[in-house]
């Protein structure tokens, strides 16, 4: 594959939309020092401005209490309180890291939750209540108390710079929302109006769906019913276990109901019976296989759906508040450069369609499904639980460091297996090469050639490589014998030995044309700087 870069190509702004926000687990984790330390590192190193997490209203945050929780006495439930102090500490930690919260309003406090026979909690480690409120007047009072608490603590001008998103993935029953689409629309309307009645300038949006779903009907509902809507949010994964718009063929539907969920559990049970290694991690991987390695998942789903969702948003700001290569927790390839190549390619490919986005997620300090002890267990994080950067960190660092002017190489660079992006500014030209495939295959390397028009011979060409030998702490950990736990010295040693360094790279220059050659393995990412 050859790429020619010259002065005739269009120059456009480099839209670093992924720096808008990053995802993380649930609110209780934001009270931990390791979480806060890693969050600041991600902000400082990658320039990410906000963080989004689930569960600010979960019962482990103890925001809505009554005396019966402590004393089993007649009438004790009538003695109630709101306590948002833990929320304040979580947000204090976010602000101390130099970031702002992207507030996901979830999940339902147990005291407010409806109890009408539907399952109350989702299947996650921290057991969120995933049902509507029993009484919308009580929900409104609770929400407005929360907003007033934030305004009192941080000031109204600060809170107006935050974003408030109603719920998370309400299209996924038995996981995040045990209700219908219409029940979510009512929850959104009641929530948005309650917040706007406190302060009309606080931004509120949704529907925070998986797979780019519900956007058309949600926007129409808000317009037809005069419901406040400042921005649109949705999510997209390539290896999504429950499918996206194209997989389901119904952009307005929900994931399968109870029967589908039971079938999923049945298949997981059969997989467990076949698995011979009886460790927790092996069992989890058997029950939730990485479909991106076993099936032919298209690599352009995010690009296509972002373009379509941009149109469906009807001019409103569009935020993909979760996206990544894989939604399968514990997938082995989550720790590999497969995620690095995908994330670089998609960050570039969707830039014209999204206002901002949020990679899921910044750290393996994460308890949505299970807090595994192994340092490399296939978590979603850009960093491991002890803060070791994974390949995706180094790949996104190439994009973060690239100048603010992008040289438009055309959409075809995203159609081939080997793609490229180019940037210029501050007397430098940056070129990023990526060889992206949805399966981490052992294939022969492919040559990529860069031709760059430049009047003078460059003083230097350097490269940062993300490949089998560079930026690959997983390989080093495996060579150590896969120790379940690491001490501080081992963590620092892995960081140092896997850190990506800038190195000189050979080139030729003749008659005003610079030529650089490189051979890329599957899912390698190379970042060149020409000075």
Please identify every residue annotated as catalytic.
169, 322
Instruction: Please count the residues of the chain.
Output: 531
What SS3 class is residue 260? helix
| Alpha helix (H) residue ranges in 199-300 | 215-224, 245-248, 258-274, 280-287, 291-294
Q: Who contacts 133 (Cβ-Cβ below 8 Å, separation ≥6)?
A: 108, 112, 113, 114, 139, 187
Pair 388, 41: CB distance under 8 Å: no
What SS3 class is residue 467? coil
Pairing outcome for strands 50-54 and 21-26: parallel
Q: What residues does 236 pair with on adjacent strands?
A: 323
Pairing outcome for strands 446-453 and 2-5: parallel
Cis peptide before 207 (omega within 30 of 0): yes
Task: Give the pair of three-digit tokens for residue 360.
Answer: 């899921």
Pair 13, 40: CB distance under 8 Å: no
Q: Which bin fits 47, alpha (ψ -120 to 50), beta or left (φ > 0)?
A: left
Q: What residues does 510 pair with on adjacent strands?
A: 513
CB atoms within 10 A of CB 264: 17
Q: What is the DSSP string of 426-453?
A: TTEEEEEEEE--SS------EEEEEEEE
């Amino acid at each position: 594959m050859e790429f020619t870069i010259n002065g005739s190509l269009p120059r456009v702004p480099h839209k670093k939309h992924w720096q808008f926000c990053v995802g993380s687990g649930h609110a209780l984790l934001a009270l931990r020092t390791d979480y806060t330390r890693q969050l600041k590192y991600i902000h400082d190193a990658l320039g990410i401005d906000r963080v989004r997490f689930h569960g600010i209203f979960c019962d482990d945050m103890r925001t809505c209490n009554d005396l019966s929780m402590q004393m089993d006495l007649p009438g004790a439930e009538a003695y109630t309180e709101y306590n948002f102090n833990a929320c304040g500490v979580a947000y204090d930690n976010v602000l101390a890291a130099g970031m702002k919260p992207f507030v996901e309003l979830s999940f339902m406090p147990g005291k407010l939750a409806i109890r009408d026979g539907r399952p109350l909690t989702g299947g996650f480690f921290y057991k969120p209540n995933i049902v509507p409120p029993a009484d919308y007047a009580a929900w409104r009072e609770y929400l407005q108390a929360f907003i007033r608490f934030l305004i009192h603590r941080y000031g109204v001008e600060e809170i107006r710079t935050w974003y408030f998103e109603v719920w998370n993935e309400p299209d996924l029953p038995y996981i995040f929302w045990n209700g219908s689409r219409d029940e979510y629309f009512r929850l959104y309307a009641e929530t948005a109006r309650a917040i706007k009645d406190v302060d009309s300038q606080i931004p509120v949006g949704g529907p925070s769906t998986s797979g780019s779903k519900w956007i058309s009907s949600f926007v129409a509902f808000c317009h037809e019913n005069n419901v406040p809507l400042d921005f649109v949010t949705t999510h997209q994964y390539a290896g999504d276990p429950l499918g996206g718009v194209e997989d389901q063929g119904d952009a307005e539907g929900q994931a399968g109901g109870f029967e589908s969920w039971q079938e999923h559990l049945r298949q997981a049970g059969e997989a467990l019976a076949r698995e011979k290694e009886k460790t927790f991690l092996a069992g989890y991987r058997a029950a939730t296989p990485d479909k991106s390695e076993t099936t032919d998942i298209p690599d352009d789903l995010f690009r296509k759906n972002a373009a379509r969702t941009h149109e469906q948003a009807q001019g409103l700001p569009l935020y993909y508040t979760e996206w990544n290569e894989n939604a399968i927790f514990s997938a082995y390839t989550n720790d590999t450069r497969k995620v690095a190549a995908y994330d670089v390619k998609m960050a570039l490919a969707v830039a014209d369609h999204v206002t901002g986005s949020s990679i899921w997620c910044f750290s393996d300090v994460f308890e949505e499904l299970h807090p595994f002890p192994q340092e490399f267990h296939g978590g979603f994080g850009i960093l491991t639980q002890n803060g070791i950067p994974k390949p995706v960190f180094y790949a996104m660092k190439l994009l973060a460091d690239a100048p603010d002017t992008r040289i438009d190489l055309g959409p075809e660079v995203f159609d081939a297996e080997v793609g490229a992006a180019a940037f210029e500014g501050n007397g430098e030209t940056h070129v990023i090469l990526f060889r992206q495939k949805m399966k981490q295959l052992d294939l022969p390397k492919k040559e990529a050639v860069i031709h760059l028009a430049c009047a003078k011979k460059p003083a230097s060409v350097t490269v940062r490589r993300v490949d089998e030998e560079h930026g690959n702490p997983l390989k080093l950990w495996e060579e150590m014998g896969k120790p379940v736990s690491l001490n501080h010295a081992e963590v620092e040693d892995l960081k140092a030995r896997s850190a990506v360094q800038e190195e000189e790279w050979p080139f030729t220059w003749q008659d005003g044309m610079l030529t650089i050659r490189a051979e890329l393995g599957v899912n390698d990412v190379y970042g060149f700087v020409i000075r």
